[in-house]
Structure 1
Amino acid sequence: METPTARAAAPRPRPLSPHLQIYRWTWTMAMSIFHRATGVALYVGTLFLAFWLVSLASGPEAYARAGAFFGSPIGWLLLFGYTWALMHHMLGGVRHFVWDFGKGYEPEQRFLLAKLTLAGSIGLTLFVWLVGLIAR
């Protein structure tokens, strides 16, 4: 026979978290994931920056090899991606900074900030590369 005390002490089944298939993708969710991904990309890109700096300190032959690598199509693609990751991560940080002041929490504002983060990162990346190519 079960007593009321035994019934109260029995563990209740815990609720299950919804699966990812249930969540509806939103701009803020995607920008949060991109912010984390660009943070990881910046770590990897910084290794390439360190490679370039070490080659610069290692002499003309090493610097020429690094220059050939970064001047190749793959090198340009890596540099372009690094630039975009830097701009996107920076603007994501600005978005979080705005949130730190308690602003931008309304759904429309969050949506706008997320879209501006993506558009701004693309625009700034193209601007930086355009200025770099003109100054070259």
Structure 2
Amino acid sequence: MSSSPTTGDKATDRTGRFVRQPNGRITPLSPHLQTWRWHVTMTASILFRVTIGAASVGAFFGLAWLGLAACGPEAYDTARGLAGSPFGLFIGFGLTVVLFSFVLNGGRHLINDTGNGLTLKSATLLSNIAVWAPIPLAILFWAALFATGRVSL
């Protein structure tokens, strides 16, 4: 008898990392790329976790801005200058993408938590919206900011 868990004998798996499925197939205990085909819902799930991390970085920038504002007018003018620089605008655009991604993915989760949007077709649609819509929405938002004169280079 072979000691490989791929032989179909769960008893030979001493690692505990493999499990026999009801159809008799031996698979990893945790779903992995070897088990699942890639789907847009996986991308949406991963991006949601990434946006949480990026929002944390954005919170740091917000806290730094508040700290500089509390340090006086000179420090605040420095912060405004950095925020208005091309690099600062790039960071602002990125955080806007994060905001839209967070809101759209949160909406997707809210819909799913009510028991709706769980069919393959609706889950795919909601995930595609959550994955692809943040960038065009951020572009439209920043175009409106530039068009109204609230932001300039």
TM-score of the superposed pair, with normalisation by structure 1: 0.82
Tell whether 2:152 aligns with 1:133: no
* SS of alignment partner, residue 133 of structure 2: helix
Task: List per-residue Cα deviations over 1:20-52 (Å, max 9, x = no partner).
Answer: 355322100001000000010000111101111
CA shift digits 1:42-86 (9 cap, x unpaired): 001111011112212221210121122212222111111111001
Aligned to 1:95: 108
Corresponding residue for residue 81 of structure 2: 68
Q: Distance in 2 between matches of 1:118 and 1:131?
A: 22
Structure 2 residue 106 is matched with structure 1 residue 115: no
Aligned to 2:44: 31
Q: Which runs of 5+ in 2 are unaligned?
A: 1-9, 19-26
Tell me, yes or no, if structure 1 residue 80 matches structure 2 residue 93. yes
Map of 2:3 onto structure 1: none
Using the alignment, how far apart are the partners of 1:19 and 1:109 within structure 2?
Answer: 23
CA RMSD of aligned residues (A): 1.9
Tell me the number of residue pairs that the alignment of Structure 1 and Structure 2 aligns.
Answer: 126
Q: Could you report, residue by residue, the CA deviation over 1:75-111 in whole angstroms, capped at 9, with x for unpaired residues? A: 1111111110011011100001111111111111111
More helix as a share of residues: 1
- The CA deviation at 1:128 is 1.8
> Structure 1: which 5+ residue stretches go unaligned?
1-10
CA distance in 1, matches of 2:88, 2:43: 27
Compute the TM-score of the two structures, normalised by the length of structure 2. 0.74
Q: Which has the higher contact order (CA 8 A, sep 6+)?
A: 1
Per-residue deviation, 1:120 = 2.7
Match of 2:65 among 52, 55, 72: 52
